[in-house]
Amino acid sequence: MSNSPMKKLSTEIGGIVRPLLLLVFLFASGIGALLYGKDVIGFLEKQPPLIEPVYVPDGIGREGAVLTLQIQDSGAGIDAFVVRASQYGIESELKRESLEGAATREIQIPLDGIDGKFREGELRISVRAFDRSLWSNRGELELNLMVDYQSPELQVVTTQHNARVGGAQLLVYRAKDENLVESGVKVGRYFFKGYPARHLDPVFASSDLFAVIYAVPFHGDAGQRYSLVAQAKDQAGNITNEEFYSKESAARVSSQQVPLSALCLRGQVSDIFFSSETILREAVGDAEIERIAALSDDQLQKSSSQFRLVSEQLRMFDSAHLAELTRESAPISFGMKAFQRQSGTVRHAHQQKLSFVTGSSLVGELWHSGYFYRPRGDKPEIVAASAGIISFIEELGTYGTVIGIDHGLGLFSLYGSVEEVAVKPGDAVEGGDMLGVAGRGALGCERGALFELRVQGVPVEPAEWLSEKWFHGHISRKVASAKRLLGLAAPRSF
């Protein structure tokens, strides 16, 4: 029966018909491709959808996380995708959606935190996307994430933290977690990273001890108030905050009128304007630059307009650039003594509002950061204020040649308007070492040297670090107190 003539005939016909049907389909597809172009070609394409990570969290913590992906298919388009999670042999579906032939789509997958279904440990995420081709091509992506619901341990060690707005302060603390990624002090929206405390003093050898110098930023409001907390964060995003005793005094501010000569405006300031024109165009637009260019060269109005842009826009750009250069210290030891003053008298002080005038006309205002020294002698030396590493030497329009010294723990000193530079990046210097000589200040056209201190990019009051009394009370004595509280101080002899 199995070898009957009818079955044999049916098999032979099937063997002929199936190839014929395939040939007809391929022929029709070819005609369709000629008539309808890429729609048919896309229907036959063999490329699977592309799945790419846009944002992958470092882990899943107590608050959960969001995974963001992008799916693309330029051929037949995306038909659908499905996201699954598997952990300890249990698989669950997180998301499934039909995309109806979309060429590209960004998707977000919420990942539940401690109140969800995931347990601590490794979690595998599998993503599958299918296109609308004849073959239903499949794209795949596999990701492994760590689920961790344990927040870091955090304990502030130091007890007194009295700072002034515009000044700085030191805090020593413990932070412990297997996957600790950052810790420090949060001052409003600012975060100041902590460094291993052994860089402050080798006695603090434990890996869970940290020291942070933080700033209380000044933005024109002497009485500005901030919320301050110590903070530690792990890889999964778990955050521990601890409040600490902190008292902030109002900033010391002053004002000063700075006369500018027509020669200064038309000479040095105009040169700075033209050398920085590209930056200024990006800041204020071509129309404003062209308006200034059209003003008469014989009038102070043109020079005054140039000065206004230089003192406001270019100074802001230069300061932001310096903030980036002084954001993070190298792993170097911090020198435990007050900083050395420059030779000369302070012409402009920190947090002093400078009003630049020519004749009776106000041409610009700015809050000054750091000290501008009027030197003694024709070629006064600029010296390093404390031990450190030459981090950078830059040419900036409103600062002139700037030398930056990294002192460790995020503290940098800056020296502007330097001529005859005597150092290079990477050099180790001690307090009092010569860096160069004072040149001509960029904005006031007066010979002198700019000295500025920054904590992780934020300008702070130099007077504090130049004072033996302040340094002893806020740094040295605090370190000694932390040693005693941790049981690390040598016993006193009687």
Look up the CATH number of the domain holding residue 79. Answer: 2.60.40.10
Residue 255 confidence (pLDDT): 93
The Cα 54–Cα 87 span in angstroms is 23
Same domain, residue pair 100 and 143: yes
Q: Are residues 275 and 377 located together in one domain of the fold?
A: yes
Rounded to the nearest integer, the mean pLDDT of the chain is 89
Residue 458: predicted pLDDT? 98
The 3-state secondary structure of the chain reads: CCCCHHHHHHHHHHHHHHHHHHHHHHHHHHHHHHHHCHHHHHHHCCCCCEEEEEECCCCECCCCEEEEEEEECCCCCEEEEEEEEEECCEEEEEEEEEEEEECEEEEEEEECCCCCCCCCEEEEEEEEEEECCCCCCEEEEEEEEEECCCCCEEEECCCCCEEECCCEEEEEEEEECCCEEEEEEEECCEEEECEEHHHCCCCCCCCCEEEEEEECCCCCCCCCCCCEEEEEEECCCCEEEECCCCEEECCCCEEEEEECCHHHHHHHHHHHHHHCHHHHHHHHCHHHHHHHHCCCCCCHHHHHHHHHHHHHHHHHHHHHHHHHHCCCCCCCCCCCCCCCCCCCEEEECCCEEEEEEECCEEEEEEEECCEEEECCCCCCEEECCCCEEEEEEEEECCCEEEEEEECCCCEEEEEECEECCCCCCCCEECCCCEEEEEEECCCCCCEEEEEEEEECCEEECHHHHHCHHHHHHHHHHHHHHHHHHCCCCCCCCC
The answer on 417 and 299 residing in a single domain is: yes
Structure tokens at 309: 């842009």
Indicate whether 475 belongs to any domain: no
The dihedral through the CA atoms of 414, 419, 424, 429 has a sign that is negative
Cβ–Cβ < 8 Å for 70, 105 = yes
Q: Treating both helix axes as pointing N-terminal to C-terminal, what angle do 286-293 and 277-284 enclose, rounded to 10 degrees?
A: 120
User: Are 228 and 279 members of one domain?
Assistant: no
pLDDT of residue 2: 47
**Whole-number pLDDT of residue 485:** 95
Report pLDDT digits (tens) over 12-59. Answer: 444 444 444 444 444 444 444 444 445 556 678 889 999 999 999 999
Q: What is the Cα–Cα distance from 121 to 115, expressed in whole angstroms?
A: 15
Instruction: Let me know whether 278 and 415 are in one domain.
Output: yes
- Asked if residue 287 and residue 203 are part of one domain, the reply reads no
Low-confidence ranges of the chain (pLDDT < 50): 1-2, 5-37, 493-494
Is 468 among the domain residues?
no
The reply to whether 275 falls in a domain is yes
pTM score: 0.84
Whole-number Å distance between alpha carbons of 472 and 129:
64
Q: What are the C-alpha distances in Å from 431 to residues 3, 330, 339, 342, 440? A: 105, 18, 7, 11, 24
Task: Please tell me whether residues 186 and 58 are part of one structural domain.
Answer: no
Question: Where a domain ends, among 220, 252, 284?
Answer: 252
Burial of 117 (0-12, 13-18, 19+ CB in 10 A): exposed
Tokens representing 277? 């024109």
Instruction: State the pLDDT at residue 39.
Output: 59
Provide the CATH number for the domain around residue 328.
Answer: 2.70.70.10
**DSSP-derived pairing of the beta strands 254-259 and 352-358:** parallel
Closest CA to 229 of 213, 210, 245, 253: 245
| Residue 72: domain span | 48-147
Domain presence at residue 493: no
Q: What local confidence, expressed as pLDDT, does residue 95 receive?
A: 96
Q: How many CA atoms lie within 13 A of 416 on its CB side?
A: 23
> Nearest 5°: CA angle at 283, between 267 and 361?
45
**Is residue 170 domain-shared with residue 120, that is, in the same domain?**
no
**Is 27 found in the same domain as 52?**
no
Is 308 contained in some domain?
A: yes
Whether residue 214 sits in one domain with residue 166: yes
Domain for residue 336, yes or no? yes
Residue 465 in any domain: the answer is: no
Number of domains in the chain: 4
Same domain membership, residue 395 and residue 305: yes
In whole angstroms, give the CA distance from residue 454 to residue 261: 31
Domain assignment of residue 467, yes or no: no
- Give yes or no: residues 159 and 96 share one domain: no
- The per-residue b/e assignment along 233-249, b for 16 or more CB within 10 angstroms, e otherwise, is bbbbbbbbeeebebebe
The tally of CA atoms less than 13 A away on the side-chain side of residue 444 is 23
Can you give the pLDDT at residue 34? Answer: 42
